[in-house]
Copies of this chain bind each other. A is one copy, B any other.
């Protein structure tokens, strides 16, 4: 089903994985959540690219960020104009080379793109879980991925890789399953959010939870809290980019038009950046569930590797994976220093770890964007 099809779609990069389809893994074994609560069963939606080799040693797990999903590469049909979110990284002769590696990406538990989450039907009640869904942590996300990996017959991942919340998952993997992972490549991430990042998340959650349509989480799928979710996304989107990047792309560019003398017209978006943000907000509410946004941002807030023994060193004590962490100079959400301190802690306890910093004006989202430097780092790290 996921065999690469050699087609040319005129995209930016050669060597696309072509047409893909997702798979579902239904797990009937109960899942206990870190903070309490459990599911009797759950579904995991995932995609794979490339072929698992005979000794099952070439599997790479790709972990998605807050608003990502399992569709990391390829297209769903010849008419599909939008490739998976990391199509530039995954494919034949790309950094995650599907000629060599078996690449897996799954939607996280708590998600809204096929894996069981608050918008899924609780089989016990026949209703959506909504806020009765257990609180989700990064450890829970990884525990579900481990079930999937086991289901696929893989004893040990060659590597886990991801940016932002994906990077947190990779580190959590190496802590929770030290024998089942060879390498970790964590990009634009942190071992715990600082107060500013928590603050932005809380404003986004407040926008959603104070939207009257949200209705304590019990909204109808026909009428979702799109105002609150859109505001949350518009704001968060600013934090994913950089001052300099926005200035270069939009500056003060303004739509031409007659200025009108009062508030009836003057507050309509007229700057290019305003229209861009509204577009981002609108397209997001069409693809993402507001409750999942609450669950995932809370998982981010609660993530703190120092909880495992009081320090990063204690958290990393039993880790066996080789680690590469990459920070991006203009990332002000999870700044370079927060990436670097992960590697510094690993080196202090004599683990094999490297830190690289890539100069980029594109902010936190740099890890998603075409970057030959990042590609080379990943290729090199896979080879060593």
Contacts and interface: CB of A to CB of B under 8 A. Distances in A.
Contact of A199 (B130, B207, B231, B274): B274
A271 interface: yes
Copy tally for this chain in the complex stands at: 2
Contacts of A203: 231, 234-235, 238, 277
A273 B132 contact: no
B132 A252 contact: no
Contact of A273 (B195, B206, B250, B267): B195
Interface in A80-137: 118, 130-135
A243 B337 CA distance: 13
A252 B33 contact: no
Interface stretch (A168-176, A257-265, A351-359): A257-265
A interface bracket (residues with beta carbon within 8 Å of B): 35 or more
Interface string A263-305: 1101101010110011001000000000100110010010010
A174 to B, nearest CB: 22
Contact of A210 (B118, B231, B251): B231
A261 to B, nearest CB: 3
A187 B124 CA distance: 61
Given A231-B210, A298-B267, A134 B261 contact: yes
Contacts of A281: 206
A198 interface: yes
A309 interface: no
Contacts of A130: 263
Q: Which are the 10 A-B pairs with shortest beta-carbon distances?
A: A36-B261, A131-B263, A37-B261, A195-B246, A135-B266, A195-B250, A195-B273, A202-B274, A210-B227, A196-B243
Given A199-B273, A243-B335, 6 more contacts: A130-B263, A135-B261, A194-B246, A202-B274, A207-B231, A266-B298
22 contacts: A35-B260, A35-B261, A36-B259, A131-B262, A131-B264, A133-B262, A135-B260, A195-B249, A195-B271, A196-B247, A199-B274, A200-B235, A202-B271, A210-B230, A210-B231, A211-B227, A217-B263, A235-B235, A263-B291, A263-B295, A267-B298, A332-B332
